[in-house]
Chain A
């Protein structure tokens, strides 16, 4: 038992807990990474571009639809939204909705 405890201690010292969890690398998690360059890692923006983390899937997808049909004013997002398939957008939106 003592050895096990020492082993665990050694592991803790060598590998302190990473502040981010290594969740399953789902397609949505990877695809959402392509948005992070502008919207922040995991959709948490540190600039004036909006955060996406924590918004509902429906809200995110309806905004994307509005950008695509031109009813939502914007500079760049409509152009980018048209590059992703509906299925990819759903996976991305579900990932951001799951982020707190």
Chain B
């Protein structure tokens, strides 16, 4: 028996060495390997991939499927609009993950077959999994913004709500705008990705105008009835730093866009801008939608907060912005990074035949720049409630900055360096 087994192992090992690392899960299983596939190399997915390897060790094979060749951070991307940072400053490679033996596969994940436990890729190949982590972020619901349906409209009126080419294109529009012009930004009803982000963006654009185009204006058209995050701190910045530049209009839901004239049509008025920036409503990205993982309001994926497992597919864990958030839980990069570790710990325990932790914790730290250097934060800690089966913010914990400071600006850059290394390793 021993000899027989050993021969089997030798054959499997030889086949595996020959097959290199291109995806033979049956052999991996024969070798006692746990085969984990991750869709999406952002804050959630990259973290999960790295931590399954770190915490699971050599018995785990991790494949990360990511369509972009480099990681570009949404946090800090508003600083490109303000002019104090470049795209290179917020871009990192996936080399650090490769060094830690995560198999990074730069393809588009186009479909999931949960019954067969297979992910189909855009190049026609497919990848099998024992457990799948879906961390796809959001896709824009342009169908909910009349006038914005076509590719031409979306090239002219930008969202810049995924960092990268859109961020640079919006910066170019701002640079081309004459002094005395109007920048208008529309904010959808919460929840959307990055609750304080639109207000930070307004500050960054106003910071740029103050220096380069001092008679220009920023108009915030917010579908919500008040500032969604860090309200007092942003109100103070609007009033003290950007008086006469930023105008904030609550209850201003975008009904339609006239692309040719760059006009935002609201319920009772029209606002025409020189640069119109529409942040549309969002939902869990297409790959999650098409796999049937969306469970709530046709937008978000409900999960079991002990493990981040999808409520509809046991072998699939969903992370980050795509999830139906717990109470007071922001759709942030930091929170996605925390989801990634919760899922990684649960997957390592489950695949080792152990129970996942009974008291998971996630926490959020979010820094916003009111100019190139001064920053405000919001923080929260969320503990698991056995009764409610979800993670809830701890009362009396968390909170806001007292005021915007340069010290917190330093911490914000430190945060970025640490969290990028925490998710991507050392490139």
For A27, give its contact among B6, B334, B357, B394 (CB under 8 Å): B357
Interface size on A (CB < 8 Å)? 43
Are A76 and B377 closer than 8 Å at their CB atoms? yes
Q: Is B250 interfacial (CB 8 A cutoff)?
A: no
Are B17 and A75 closer than 8 Å at their CB atoms? no
Are B361 and A37 closer than 8 Å at their CB atoms? no
Are B414 and A49 closer than 8 Å at their CB atoms? yes
For A22, give its contact among B56, B363, B405, B418 (CB under 8 Å): B56
Are B337 and A37 closer than 8 Å at their CB atoms? yes
Q: With A7-B9, A34-B338 in contact, is A19–B100 under 8 Å at CB?
A: yes
Q: With A75-B407, A79-B399 in contact, is A34–B341 under 8 Å at CB?
A: yes
Contact with A along B389-427 (1 / 0, CB 8 A): 000001011110100010110110111111101100000
Are B338 and A37 closer than 8 Å at their CB atoms? yes
Q: With A25-B349, A27-B357 in contact, is A75–B408 under 8 Å at CB?
A: yes
Q: Is B362 interfacial (CB 8 A cutoff)?
A: yes
Are A33 and B419 closer than 8 Å at their CB atoms? no
For A33, give its contact among B345, B359, B408 (CB under 8 Å): B345
* Residues of B with C-beta under 8 A to A38: 365, 411, 414-415, 418-419
Chain A min CB distance to B133 (Å): 16
Are B55 and A25 closer than 8 Å at their CB atoms? yes
Within 8 A of B (CB), among A1-25: 3-4, 6-7, 10-11, 13-22, 25
Q: Is A62 interfacial (CB 8 A cutoff)?
A: no
Are B341 and A30 closer than 8 Å at their CB atoms? yes
Of chain A, the residue at the smallest CB distance from B341 is: A33
Chain B min CB distance to A92 (Å): 10
Are A79 and B398 closer than 8 Å at their CB atoms? yes
Are B361 and A80 closer than 8 Å at their CB atoms? no
Q: Is B381 interfacial (CB 8 A cutoff)?
A: yes
The interface residues of chain B, by DSSP majority, are classed as helix
Cα A10 to Cα B417 in complex, Å, equals 37
Are B421 and A30 closer than 8 Å at their CB atoms? no
Are B422 and A80 closer than 8 Å at their CB atoms? no
The interface size bin for chain B is: 35 or more
Are B418 and A46 closer than 8 Å at their CB atoms? yes
Q: Is B127 interfacial (CB 8 A cutoff)?
A: no
Are A4 and B338 closer than 8 Å at their CB atoms? no
Q: Is A70 interfacial (CB 8 A cutoff)?
A: no
* Residues of B with C-beta under 8 A to A3: 6, 10
Q: Is B315 interfacial (CB 8 A cutoff)?
A: no
Contact with A along B27-62 (1 / 0, CB 8 A): 000000000000000000000000101111111000
Cα A46 to Cα B411 in complex, Å, equals 12
Q: With A30-B341, A80-B397 in contact, is A18–B408 under 8 Å at CB?
A: no
For A80, give its contact among B21, B100, B363, B410 (CB under 8 Å): B363
Q: B: which residues have CB within 8 A of A?
A: 6, 9-10, 13-14, 16-17, 21, 51, 53-59, 99-101, 334, 337-338, 341, 345, 348-349, 357, 359-363, 365, 377, 379-383, 394, 396-399, 401, 405, 407-408, 410-411, 413-419, 421-422
Sorted nearest first, the 4 A-B pairs with minimum C-beta distance are: A22-B57, A83-B381, A47-B414, A83-B397
Known: A3-B10, A38-B414. 5 other contacts (CB 8 A): A4-B6, A7-B10, A30-B345, A80-B365, A83-B361
Q: A: which residues have CB within 8 A of B?
A: 3-4, 6-7, 10-11, 13-22, 25, 27, 29-31, 33-34, 36-41, 45-49, 75-76, 79-84, 88
